[in-house]
Structure 1
Amino acid sequence: MAQADDTSGGRYVVRHVAVFDVPATVSAPWTDCRHVIAVTRTRLHHNHWVERRSLYISDLTLPAHPWLTHIQARWGIENRLHWICDATFREDDPPRKGGHAPANWALIHCWIISVARRLGYRTVPLGMQALANQLHRVFRILMHGFSSA
């Protein structure tokens, strides 16, 4: 078992990680899975403790402590990309369903996020607002990259 205390971002979070061997009774599709990693996050939110448990599976054989870093890095990806796609573009409830539309729109959304970040906008919506009436600039970036932005 490993533990880490985190006070970044103005909050207090305690993470506990435990690694367990997968039981031999695991079904055929999971034969390569060797370990279950249990992460318990406890944070102080508005003077109340909130606990969240997540389970991960892996074929890697690592002790608990390295998983603290690996899993937190994964959460960083979630916060920097997936949450933005969900909150800004409502990707959890897409209006375009079926066929290749969801994948195509996800690609466009990621490109918009990259453009907004590369041009230094504080948030993606601010970047979208600033570029909304500048199609010539958007097309220039699309065709020639950022050297002509």
Structure 2
Amino acid sequence: MPKKTCELIIESCNDYVIAGKGNQPKLHSHIQRIAALRKPTSRIVEIEKTRDRLTTRTVEVFHELKGIDPKWIGVNSLIRVERVGIRKGKKYHEIVCYISSLLGTAKEYAIGIRGHWGIENRLHWVKDVVFKEDISTIRMGNAPANLSITRAIALNIIRRNSYASITIAHRFLSHDIDKLIDQLKQVEDFRTKDGRRHPLWLVLLFVTMGTMNGYVGYRGWGDFVKRHSRVLIKKFGIQKHGVPSYSTIRRVVMGVEFDKLAEKFNDWAKNYVEI
């Protein structure tokens, strides 16, 4: 995959996991050197036995990015996968290295890589790994209920796009955005007039987009809008105040009334997906 493609993926508010194979020998060698010299941020060893195969799979994740070509836009993790075993009676040993824009753990990458990012594993990946549904620390105000709606909408949009595309957010913007915005604009803004630097609908929309792309929690959503501020500002014509900050996102998600938000999301979703 060309380095330019990474830039396009990041600019479209998506993330990537790319294998550094024979066509990227420098990248592969660099990750191997990092693995030899550095302790991994996380590591997992799995043993898999099938009828004609026995495999020991070791996945290591590194966040040491020194020496990586800056043209690999958005890279946050280096992943080394080593497979040792017996296949049809013959020994084999292979090492595959990856780069990713996500800040995942070895366990998370093992799930995705083992399933080759296939359709049968994508729903599990999205729900338990990307959305990190089981480790959410959001507990205050209306945030937990509001977050559950956002996840449902994001998950169904992903499901409706058959999981397989890295341009989910782009398709969402192209096909569904106008009617969803119309519904979000009808959600009553609980903030005082002085506290409305950013429209409520815009903040809620960015939370949905961030969730669709694996950003979790207030800090994660703040990172999402900051990281993709250029494309978001251009897409939505934001001028005066730029993109909303972490604190603005937190205040909105905690404060917006769950019942009103649910009503508007459902009005939109019933024409598209099942919640």
Q: Which has the higher strand share?
A: 1
**Interval of TM-score (by shorter of Structure 1 and Structure 2):** 0.3 to 0.5
Question: Under a length normalisation based on structure 2, what TM-score does the superposition of the two structures give?
Answer: 0.26
